[in-house]
Amino acid sequence: MSQAADGDGATVDGVRFEQPAEGVARIVLARPEARNAQDKAMLYALNAAFDRAAHDDEVRVIILAGDGPHFSSGHDLRDASQISDFPPVGNWGGTAQPGIEGYMASEHEIYLGLCWRWRNLPKPTIAQVQGKVIAGGLMLAWVCDLIVAAEDAEFSDPVVAFGVNGGEYFAHPWEVGARKAKEMLFTGEALTAAEAKQLGMVNRVVSGERLEAYTLEMASHVAERPSMGLKLAKQSVNQMQDAQGLWTSLQAAMSLHQLGHSNDWQVHGVGIDPAGVGIIRKQAKAPPKFRD
């Protein structure tokens, strides 16, 4: 277990574990200076914190929040750590293998594998999101059962510009429907909180000032119910999605994602199309183009 799971109230590896109310744990992304970009240390600390909440019988509901103006800008592309620096959680193995074999193994371990693990945590989870929620940030929000958003929250996945299909937990069509998923992916534009709510991706939208208190009140309200009923309700909905093919479709998209990275390695000598960085930066500086 990493230090993050031991340090109540302390931020370790970019994650803070809090117990703000009876029956409620709050896991906080605490790298606001980096817009909560997820490096490997943070992902493993996040996993340790989810495990701690899962194994603590006093915790019945888990909130996932982010410090600062933005929930998460996605995976930290500046992360210089090696995956071999961390004990693996999954059993894919082979992360040190050369070529796309190692690359695919690494992304199965730290992206799809961890996200699927968190999605399947039996206790109710609530994402509390504000500001930018980009690519890998979306993945964190989507694996939670409920999403409460501040009015200023914006949801985007611009990584088609890197020559891949989208983030590694490719739940876009499940979350916003097939047509909106294509629009998000093709244009790289962000959905507003109001649009996300209309599409059923977000449960509630509240003002930024109310976000934390509102989410905590909802978590405490849910936590009054018996853990058995909550687990059964969660599993019943999740198993419906599983029967519809969620896991199979996530794995299929992950395979195509690796095809994209493989093509980038062959054509550009790196895992992402370098031109994509400019495309995404230019879009981030410009006002949104396609709003109703």
Interface ranges with Zn ion (CB under 5 A): 107
Question: 246-252 long-range contacts, Cβ below 8 Å, gap at least 24?
Answer: 246/171, 246/174, 247/116, 249/170, 249/173, 249/174, 250/112, 250/116, 250/169, 250/170, 250/171, 251/112
Task: Give the dihedral sign, CA 78/82/83/87.
Answer: negative
Helix (H, G, I), strand (E, B) or coil at 17: strand
- CB 34, min distance to Zn ion, A: 19
- CB 46, min distance to Zn ion, A: 18
Helix (H, G, I), strand (E, B) or coil at 61: strand
Residue closer to Zn ion, measured from CB, 109 or 212: 109
Please state at what angle helix 246-268 crosses helix 227-244, rounded to 10 degrees. 60
Return all residues near 26 (Cβ < 8 A) that are at least 6 apart: 17, 18, 19, 20, 62, 63, 64, 65, 216, 219
- Vertex 227: Cα angle to 172 and 174 (nearest 5): 10
Residue closer to Zn ion, measured from CB, 66 or 136: 136
Residues in the chain: 292
Q: Which residue is nearest to Zn ion (CB)?
A: 107
- CB 283, min distance to Zn ion, A: 19
Residue closer to Zn ion, measured from CB, 75 or 123: 75
Residue closer to Zn ion, measured from CB, 155 or 169: 169
Q: Which pair of structure tokens corresponds to residue 153? A: 């929250």
Residue closer to Zn ion, measured from CB, 105 or 148: 105
- CB 209, min distance to Zn ion, A: 36
Return all residues near 68 (Cβ < 8 A) that are at least 6 apart: 32, 33, 35, 36, 131
Residue closer to Zn ion, measured from CB, 107 or 273: 107
Helix (H, G, I), strand (E, B) or coil at 222: helix
Residue closer to Zn ion, measured from CB, 17 or 170: 170
Measure the CA–CA gap between 24 and 263, rounded to whole angstroms: 45
CB 206 within 8 A of CB 151: yes
- CB 159, min distance to Zn ion, A: 8
Residue closer to Zn ion, measured from CB, 107 or 109: 107
CB 65 within 8 A of CB 28: yes
- CB 272, min distance to Zn ion, A: 8
Return all residues near 86 (Cβ < 8 A) that are at least 6 apart: 40, 41, 44
- CB 168, min distance to Zn ion, A: 5
- CB 222, min distance to Zn ion, A: 33
